[in-house]
A and B are shown apart, each in its own frame.
Chain A
Amino acid sequence: MELLPPLFVQVAITFVLLLAMAFLRVKSIKSGKVKPKDVALGQPNWTEKATKVGNSYHNQLQIPVLFYLLIVLLMVTNLADSTFLYCAWGYVGLRLLHAIIHVSNNNILMRFYAFAASNVLLMVMWGRFGLAVM
């Protein structure tokens, strides 16, 4: 149960990005900058801001899914401890940093370091879980 707060934060990041994406997309359609027929089949024709936020939103539903799965498994197997909790907060913190870079200046190198660090941390968590169950 103690691992749920970082998971809630990761879910909140996802919903905030979804709302921001929806807001920016509706705005770009209403202002006439984007024509519905140019995006209705998933073509990459949204405004730059809506695209950045949309990319970051979709990114939240890729690797973080393995984070949710790990948290569930740690809860079910009663293997959660304070090290996993610190790692989970670290993971979510890095994901938040990654999302902020993504939607602001979108510096690719900075974004990559935040992304890579979060994934290494998640791999370490999975490795530690793997060792604990073996």
Chain B
Amino acid sequence: MSLITPLLVQIALTFLVMFTLVRFRIVEIFSKRVNEDDIPLRKVEWPEKATRADSNFLSQFEMPVLFIALVILQVVTKTDDQLQLYLAWGYVISRILHYIFHIFISQNVIRTVFFTISSFILMAMWVRFAIAFYA
């Protein structure tokens, strides 16, 4: 198995968050609780779950971008190994838990713990890649 598999899971997570966000917003739009004309002007006070889903969706285009870049670079340079694969799985799993605790179980401290874990895993992966490059 290559690093591409956990990468695909991260991509799937991104789409899942997108659908989560759309679901929480569509309910509001169909029930006429929000004025459609206000949406493009960002004047809508979305309910908490929709706001949380929006934050989480945007966060998928922050740190995970460095994960995607790392996987591509390691595949291209053929520098990945077994430990890097385990780390990649650890990264993606902690991102999934971050998603769950961000939107469905509104626990900001636990969510931040998973974000921190994922960030340290990613940092370790970049350091290992740099070491493999300079070695």
Contacts and interface: CB of A to CB of B under 8 A. Distances in A.
B69 A72 contact: yes
B131 to A, nearest CB: 11
Contact of A18 (B51, B61, B69, B119): B119
A2 to B, nearest CB: 10
Contact of B73 (A15, A40, A58, A72): A72
Given A1-B77, A72-B72, A61 B62 contact: yes
Contacts, number: 46
B36 interface: no
Contacts of B133: 1, 4, 8
Nearest to A61: B62
A15 B123 contact: yes
B119 A41 contact: no
Contacts of A124: none
B108 A40 contact: yes
Contacts of A123: none
Interface string A13-27: 011001000100000
A76 interface: yes
Interface of A: 1, 4, 7-8, 11, 14-15, 18, 22, 36, 40-42, 58, 61, 65, 68-69, 72, 75-76
Closest 9 CB pairs of A and B: A68-B69, A61-B62, A42-B55, A40-B108, A41-B51, A8-B130, A72-B72, A65-B65, A15-B123
